[in-house]
Amino acid sequence: MTVVVAEYDPAITFFVDALGFELIEDSPASADDGSRKRWVVVRPPLSQTGILLAKAKGVDQESVIGNQTAGRVGFFLRVEEFDAAYQHMLSHQVEFLVEPRNEEYGRVTVFLDVAGNRWDLIGPRND
């Protein structure tokens, strides 16, 4: 999965500090046209799947920053300790769009990532 971002360093800071992801790789790379870029991969702790943070290049890519899923929630972060994760994210100024609520599938709220994409934070129900 790829998240298109405006700049690498603020995106790394957001995913590592605010969400608690691990920085798996941050290496120099070359684009197809020979220009320089970075290969930046983050992932939630204990996860096997990573997220490529790709700096937008050109008008077409810049136009999808924050709107990769057409305004819908397109990314999901499942946690075991919902309240702890929520409080940690609040302390890092993560923007939440709705108050946490219980659904059949668990406790959930919606937040924006550093690029403006919508994510669900999901944990066990709080009954």
Residue with tokens 């659904």: 103
**The pLDDT of residue 52:** 96
Q: Which residues of the chain does CATH 3.10.180.10 include? A: 2-62, 73-123
E strand map for the chain: 2-5, 22-30, 36-43, 51-55, 73-78, 101-103, 106-112, 118-123
**The pLDDT of residue 32:** 79
Residue with tokens 């920053």: 65
- 37's tokens: 């870029």
Check if the beta carbon of residue 114 is closer than 8 Å to that of residue 93: no
Residue by residue, pLDDT tens for the chain (127 residues) are: 899 999 999 999 999 999 999 999 999 888 777 788 899 999 998 889 999 999 999 899 999 999 999 989 999 999 999 999 999 999 999 999 999 999 999 999 999 999 999 999 999 998 7
Count of C-beta atoms within a 10 Å radius of residue 30: 10
**The pLDDT of residue 105:** 93
Q: Does domain 73-123 correspond to CATH entry 3.30.450.20? A: no
CATH class of 2-62: alpha beta
Rg (Cα) of the chain, in Å, rounded?
15
